Each structure stands twice: as C-alpha cells, then as structure tokens.
A and B are shown apart, each in its own frame.
Chain A
Amino acid sequence: MTVYLPGDVINEPSSSDSSIIGYGISVRGQTRIATQPGAFHNDDGKVWLNVHSKRYIPQEGDRVIAIVTSKTGDFFRLDIGTAEYAMINFTNFEGATKRNRPNLKTGDIIYATVFDTTPRTEAELTCVDDEKRARGMGQLNGGFMFKVSLNHCRRLINPSCKILQTVGKFFKFEITVGMNGRIWISASTSDDIIKIHDIINKSEFITDEDELITLVQNNYTRSVSD
C-alpha cells in the first residue's frame, strides 16, 4: 500500500497512462498532486486515493440516509452530513401526487439516492428510480441510526465483506447502510440493536475473520443490562 500526503507528486509508473483521475488527486499541468492523505489505488485506467474521512461529499448515484430538518413549500430540507443541506421534492416519493403528499415531519429518517450534485447548488435527492418505483427507498421507521466513518460504510457494502454475514448468523435484524457514514438498524429487541451497534462500531479495524467471529460471539452472549 502506497500512502500519499497532500502536496505529494504521484509518480506511480502505471498511473502515467491512466485517463480517469479520481478522488483525492488534482492535476497541475502534467503532474498529479495528492490533495488528501490516502492510500493510492489504480484499476483499469483509473487512479484514486482512498481517504479516511467522516465528512461526506455527495456523488450522483449514492444511496444516503437523510434526516428531515424542515419543509419549505414543495421541498423538504434534508441533512445528509454534507457541507450544505440537501433537498427533495415531494413528488420524488413513490405514489406521491399533489393530492397525496408524503407525511414527513422534522426529524424523520429517509433513505434516498443523490441524483443532482451541481456545484454551488444544494444536492437533490430522490426516493424513486426511473420507473417511479421506490425499490427500498423511502422513510425508515423505528430502529436506530448511528454514524461511522465513510470507509467503514464502503467496507460493509462490499459484497465480499464478512462482517454483516457473520452478524446475520447470530442475530435477526434489518440494516440500511448509507454512503454518507450513517447506518440504520432495526431488530426485535433493544438489546439486539445495542449489540449489533457495538459490533459494527468495534469491527472497523478488524481484518482477521476469527477475531471477527469472536467479537460477534462475545456480544451475542453478553447481557446488555449489566
């Protein structure tokens, strides 16, 4: 793993013919400069830096968990953990019409897709796809929402990640992972929710599978009220 700091010139030989410059790298003339501290990656003509960060920057197509902060006319104002609030129109919910409006209050949690991130305007979100179907998006009721780092969320979303599979063998739960570092979980009892929350938080820096199984087992057998 090659680590670059801001201001370093990226001199990887395989990166000279890359055509797509990704996250954390900026181009000055012919040189490529790292703007954020991260681990260098290149894959199939793309170069980028994996940055450890907590603050989310919206990208089109990302699935995020948003908190309703206010309502202004036809739009709801949403907090997705970015530098500016995001917006969603009431027509971007499944089955919403002018007469049938979604019933959202301040503090409600929704799961949505970012579909417009023009600079200098607020990000726009939607809860439907091109065919006006929700496909799992919309309001999240009950459960518990907490924040982790962005990299941990990407790791959990990865299909080859073992964390959620291992937790699924011990607990019956429902989970929504947003790309903005927010995770929503729901289970039958509060004790289970607390245990799953602790497992996800503690597994951020665990790579060994046996260590992960031990962590899940210990949380499964412990008593929360102690």
Chain B
Amino acid sequence: MNIISEHGFRIDGRRPAQIRNINTRLGLNRNAEGSCYLEHGNTKVLCAVYGPYEGKSSKRIEDKCAIVCQYSATKFSGLERKNRTRGDRKSTEISRLLEKAFESVILTEAFPRSQLDIFCEVIQGDGSNLAACVNATSLALADAGIPMKGIASAATCGVVDGKPIVDLTSREETDLLPRVTLATICGRDEVILVELQNRLHIDHLSTVMDAAKATCADVYECLAVVAQQHLKACAPILGN
C-alpha cells in the first residue's frame, strides 16, 4: 500500500503539503491558569498550565522559573489499550522534549525561584502527537498570559520517494518512514524543537526541513487566529 497514490493524493485524500483540520477551545479548565483543547484531525489533546507558583525547593532555580511538563496518553487513546499511561520511556522522553522546548519560549527570568507546571493529555492519538501537544501548550500558555517570545507551532514532516509529506497520521507513521517533528516560534526561522525518527538520507534533509518550516508557519496562522478570537471575546474586560 503506497502512502501517496499515483494521482498525488494520500490515504485520507490530502495533498502531500496539506495539513488536517485544527479545532481548538481555550479556557475550559476553570482551576488552571490556562487550558486548551486541541483537535488536529483525529489527534485530540488537552493541555493545562498551572503556576507560576512556589514549587519544591529541590526543583527551584535561583534566577529563573523551573518548567515541569507531564505528558500522558489515555488508555483508550490508541488502537490497543495501554496499561501504563505515563512514566514509561516514551512519555518521559516527550515530557523532557516539551520542557526544553518551552524553556526557550517562556521568559523564565520574569519569575525567579518559581515553578510552572504543564500537563498534556492525549485523548485520542492519530499521529503527530508531539506536534499537537506543542500547539496545545502554546495556546494554553497564551491563555494563561505567561510572558513568551512568541506562540510556538509544530508540525511533522516525512519523506516518501524523496518527496516531503507533512502532518502525518498514525497510518503513515510506519517503522520505515523517516520523519521530523519541528517547532518554531511565530512561524519564523527560530527553531525550538527538532526530533528525527528513523534514518533519513542527507540529500532529503533540506527538503524536509523546508517543508516542515513552511508547515509550522501555516499552523501558526491557525493558532494566531484562535488566540486573537479569544482575546476579542474577552473585550469587555480588556478595555476597548
């Protein structure tokens, strides 16, 4: 079964450079400072941001805010039920990736000796889970009003027969397909996260990176529209 048909379409009818639908809701968790629900095609992510607050002294950093991220997927999020939703090697790796990515986005010097908690929960996973978590976390941080350099956006990109395809689904994320997850700030050429899975030939690297950057810029436009609409909905209390 080929990922791209002879007419240039993918399994779900998309072109190689086309992303799936993005639906979002902001501010649905009343107990969190910022929260976001994001649907990226069939990938559904909930994200909540707590803090900055005075955390444990063991995690305290003297001159900036410590960012703690917890990534988990529900038991029913994949095709097969998982017995362990967090704490396994894959979840821990993604949590550390998100922590390092958002340490370079958030202005951590504004909150010395405090802690910021980010919780990401994948309700339904259909590929590009890490990219969806980055997008949801960016919107949740914007909803919380945390000072940032910009809104981060992420996308995945794979290579088939030397041609890049973006925003992979779980059926396309096979064990043989080399794929890159890239996150940038404001769709600019400012990279905060790169993850490569499987082996990629050096000749295809620049093609994949260019396609991923362009897709990040497209995703950023979607997230910016969502954040602006949410702010305009808050117009009564922001002062016209």
B interface residue count range (under 10 / 10 to 19 / 20 to 34 / 35 or more): 35 or more
Point out the residues of chain B lying under 8 angstroms from A205, CB to CB.
Answer: 233-234, 236-237
Q: Which of A137-192 contact B (CB under 8 A)?
A: 149, 151-152, 154-155
A200 at the interface (CB under 8 A from B): no
- Docked-complex contact B63 and A120, CB < 8 angstroms: yes
Nearest-CB distance from B219 to chain A (Å)? 14
Report the Cα distance A52→B234, complex, angstroms: 7
Q: Which of the residues A1, A3, A51 comes within 8 Å of B145, measured between beta carbons?
A: A51
Report the Cα distance A120→B111, complex, angstroms: 8
Nearest-CB distance from A191 to chain B (Å)? 24
Point out the residues of chain A lying under 8 angstroms from B188, CB to CB.
Answer: 7
B231 at the interface (CB under 8 A from A): yes
B123 at the interface (CB under 8 A from A): no
Q: Which of the residues A37, A39, A149 comes within 8 Å of B227, measured between beta carbons?
A: A37
Point out the residues of chain A lying under 8 angstroms from B145, CB to CB.
Answer: 36-38, 51-55
- Docked-complex contact B33 and A53, CB < 8 angstroms: yes
A116 at the interface (CB under 8 A from B): no
A224 at the interface (CB under 8 A from B): no
Q: Which of the residues A7, A39, A83, A204 comes within 8 Å of B114, measured between beta carbons?
A: A83
Report the Cα distance A54→B111, complex, angstroms: 15
Q: Which of the residues B33, B51, B146, B238 comes within 8 Å of A50, measured between beta carbons?
A: B238
Q: Which of B24-76 contact A (CB under 8 A)?
A: 33-34, 51-54, 62-63, 65
- Docked-complex contact A7 and B148, CB < 8 angstroms: yes
Nearest-CB distance from A189 to chain B (Å)? 26
Report the Cα distance A143→B51, complex, angstroms: 27
Report the Cα distance A204→B232, complex, angstroms: 14
Report the Cα distance A129→B51, complex, angstroms: 31
- Docked-complex contact B239 and A35, CB < 8 angstroms: no
Nearest-CB distance from B61 to chain A (Å)? 11
Known: A1-B235, A84-B113, A205-B236. A36 touches B148 (CB 8 A): yes
Report the Cα distance A5→B142, complex, angstroms: 8
Nearest-CB distance from B67 to chain A (Å)? 13
A206 at the interface (CB under 8 A from B): yes
Report the Cα distance A26→B148, complex, angstroms: 10
B217 at the interface (CB under 8 A from A): no
Q: Which of the residues B63, B232, B239 comes within 8 Å of A3, measured between beta carbons?
A: B232
Known: A83-B52, A83-B114, A84-B113. A37 touches B231 (CB 8 A): yes
Point out the residues of chain B lying under 8 angstroms from A151, CB to CB.
Answer: 234, 237-238
- Docked-complex contact B150 and A7, CB < 8 angstroms: yes
Point out the residues of chain A lying under 8 angstroms from B237, CB to CB.
Answer: 52, 149, 151-152, 154-155, 204-205
- Docked-complex contact A35 and B107, CB < 8 angstroms: yes
B151 at the interface (CB under 8 A from A): yes
Nearest-CB distance from A80 to chain B (Å)? 11
- Docked-complex contact B148 and A206, CB < 8 angstroms: no
Point out the residues of chain A lying under 8 angstroms from B239, CB to CB.
Answer: 39, 41, 50
Closest to A155 in B: B237
Closest to B107 in A: A35
B130 at the interface (CB under 8 A from A): no
Known: A5-B224, A55-B33, A55-B52. A24 touches B147 (CB 8 A): yes
Nearest-CB distance from A29 to chain B (Å)? 15
What are 28 of the A-B contact pairs (CB < 8 Å)? A1-B232, A1-B240, A3-B228, A3-B231, A3-B232, A5-B186, A6-B142, A6-B151, A7-B148, A7-B150, A36-B147, A36-B148, A37-B231, A41-B239, A50-B239, A51-B145, A52-B237, A53-B33, A54-B144, A57-B110, A83-B65, A83-B111, A83-B114, A84-B54, A84-B113, A120-B62, A120-B113, A205-B233
By Cβ-Cβ distance, the 8 closest A-B pairs, closest first, are A7-B150, A53-B145, A83-B114, A83-B52, A151-B237, A35-B147, A7-B186, A6-B148
Report which A residues bind B (CB closer than 8 A): 1, 3, 5-8, 24, 26, 33, 35-39, 41, 50-55, 57, 83-85, 119-120, 149, 151-152, 154-155, 204-207
Given A37-B142, A83-B51, list of 8 further CB < 8 A pairs?
A5-B228, A37-B227, A51-B238, A54-B144, A83-B53, A83-B111, A83-B114, A119-B112
